[in-house]
């Protein structure tokens, strides 16, 4: 797809999504790589804009340069952000109690700790996106090594084959010590996300190394 056409599609998708103030977002495209610039009033809009871009046909990659600039009265000091984050984690049933630590630096939340499953790591991040005063979030939570099934590679290949939106025959799975490397190709970025999510659900997986190509 031509960059000009992709840019037009991305701009229309951003305008279509009511959760984004698209007038604040600039879009440039080069070789299928979309760059978002400008500023939005909260971190949720930054994430929503990113997800909107990934929905657009022809998208191949994203450079996220959107700044978060809370309007007057909508920011919060770091100690309040940290306290709110800890309360949110405590109330989230998908996050093991006391497993995740929080640090806040000028509105930037940094998460650390160790959990048993990737869904718990993701849940810790998701429950903090909408907190007042958050301008950025970095998730350094890791998945604790567990006993690995001897047939892990086979189980992952079966899981990929069950996915309705994947051509599993185009994906190569390599497993070593709980680390999974994915190679091959898919038609669209969302299919790569589906493949990675299926792999992370497998017991014993501690890391996913994504080398899947798009559109090949």
Domain region containing 36: 3-68
The closest of 153, 102, 160 to 127, measured between CA atoms, is 102
Confirm whether 176 is domain-assigned.
yes
Confirm whether 203 is domain-assigned.
yes
Per-residue pLDDT at 188:
85
CATH number of the domain within which 209 lies: 3.30.300.130
Confirm whether 185 is domain-assigned.
yes
Which residues lie below 8 Å from residue 182, measured CB to CB, with a gap of 6+? Answer: 171, 172, 173, 174, 195, 196, 199, 208, 209, 210, 211, 212
Per-residue pLDDT at 145:
79
In our burial notation (b when 16+ CB lie closer than 10 A, e otherwise), range 89-102 reads beebeebbeebbeb
pLDDT in tens, 105-126: 999 999 999 998 899 999 999 9
DSSP bridge pairs for 108: 105, 136
95 in Cβ contact with 109 (< 8 Å) = no
Instruction: Give me the number of domains the chain comprises.
Output: 3
Q: Which of 40, 68, 96 is the last residue of a domain?
A: 68
Tell me the C-alpha distance between 43 and 207, whole Å. 26
Per-residue pLDDT at 216:
59
| Ramachandran angles phi, psi of 127, nearest 5° | -75, -5
Q: Which of 90, 120, 143 is the last residue of a domain?
A: 143
* Burial class (CB within 10 angstroms; exposed 0-12, middle 13-18, buried 19+) of 169: exposed
Q: Which of 124, 143, 162 is the last residue of a domain?
A: 143
The stretches in the chain having pLDDT less than 50 are: none
Per-residue pLDDT at 62:
92
Confirm whether 73 is domain-assigned.
no
Q: Do 120 and 166 reside in the same domain of the chain?
A: no
Q: pTM of the predicted model, to two decimals?
A: 0.81
In this structure, the dihedral spanned by the alpha carbons of residues 132, 62, 195 and 128, taken in order and rounded to 10 degrees, is -10
| Ramachandran angles phi, psi of 11, nearest 5° | -60, -40
32 in Cβ contact with 61 (< 8 Å) = yes
Structure tokens given for 148: 């690995």
Tell me the C-alpha distance between 175 and 163, whole Å. 20
Per-residue pLDDT at 10:
96
């Amino acid at each position: 797809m031509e960059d000009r056409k992709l840019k037009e599609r991305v701009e229309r998708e951003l305008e279509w999504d009511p959760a984004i103030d698209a007038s604040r977002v600039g879009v440039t495209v080069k070789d299928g790589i979309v760059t978002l610039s400008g500023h939005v009033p909260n971190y949720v809009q930054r994430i929503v804009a990113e997800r909107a871009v990934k929905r657009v046909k022809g998208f191949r990659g994203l450079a996220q340069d959107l700044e978060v600039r809370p309007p007057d009265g909508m920011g919060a000091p770091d100690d309040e952000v940290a306290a709110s984050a800890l309360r949110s984690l405590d109330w989230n049933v998908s996050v093991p109690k006391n497993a995740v630590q929080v640090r806040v630096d000028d509105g930037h939340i940094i998460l650390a700790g160790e959990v048993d499953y990737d869904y718990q790591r993701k849940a810790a991040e998701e429950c903090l996106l909408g907190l007042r005063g958050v301008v950025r979030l970095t998730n350094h939570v890791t998945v604790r090594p567990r006993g690995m099934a001897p047939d892990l590679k086979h189980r992952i290949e079966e899981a990929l084959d069950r996915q309705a939106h994947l051509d599993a025959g185009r994906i190569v799975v390599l497993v070593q010590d709980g680390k999974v490397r994915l190679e091959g190709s898919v038609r669209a970025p969302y299919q790569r996300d589906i493949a990675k999510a299926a792999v992370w659900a497998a017991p014993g997986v501690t890391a996913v190394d994504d080398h899947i190509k798009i559109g090949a």
